[in-house]
A = this chain, B = another copy of it.
Amino acid sequence: MVWPMTPPQHLTLGQLNAAPPGEFIAALAEVFEYAPWVAAAVAPSRPFATVTGLHQAMMAVLQAAPREQQLAFVRGHPELGSRVARARDLTADSRFEQGSLGLDRLSEQEFARFQSLNATYHEKFGFPFIICVRRHTRDSLLARFERRLANDIEVECHTALEEIALITRLRLVAKVDGPGKPTTEGRLSTHVLDQVCGRPAADMTVALYEIGASARGLILTATTNRDGRTDAPLIAGEPLRIGCYELQFGVGDYFALRRGSWPAVSFLNVVPIRFSLSEPEGHYHVPLLVTPFSYATYRGH
Contact = CB atoms under 8 A, between A and B. Distances in A.
Nearest to A251: B274
Contacts of A184: none
B292 A198 contact: yes
B193 A300 contact: yes
A67 interface: no
A83 interface: no
A142 to B, nearest CB: 16
A244 interface: yes
B263 A260 contact: no
A3 interface: no
A215 interface: no
Nearest to A266: B276
A291 B260 contact: no
Contacts of A193: 298, 300
A266 B275 CA distance: 8
A291 B195 contact: yes
A248 to B, nearest CB: 9
Contact of A274 (B271, B275, B291, B301): B271
B272 A195 contact: no
Given A270-B274, A274-B272, A278-B265, A294 B293 contact: no
Interface of A: 193, 195-200, 227, 242, 244, 246, 252, 260-261, 263-272, 274-276, 278, 289, 291-301
28 contacts: A195-B195, A195-B293, A195-B294, A195-B298, A196-B196, A196-B292, A197-B261, A197-B293, A198-B267, A200-B301, A244-B269, A246-B272, A252-B276, A265-B276, A265-B278, A267-B278, A267-B299, A268-B274, A269-B274, A270-B274, A289-B298, A293-B298, A293-B299, A294-B297, A294-B299, A295-B296, A295-B298, A296-B297
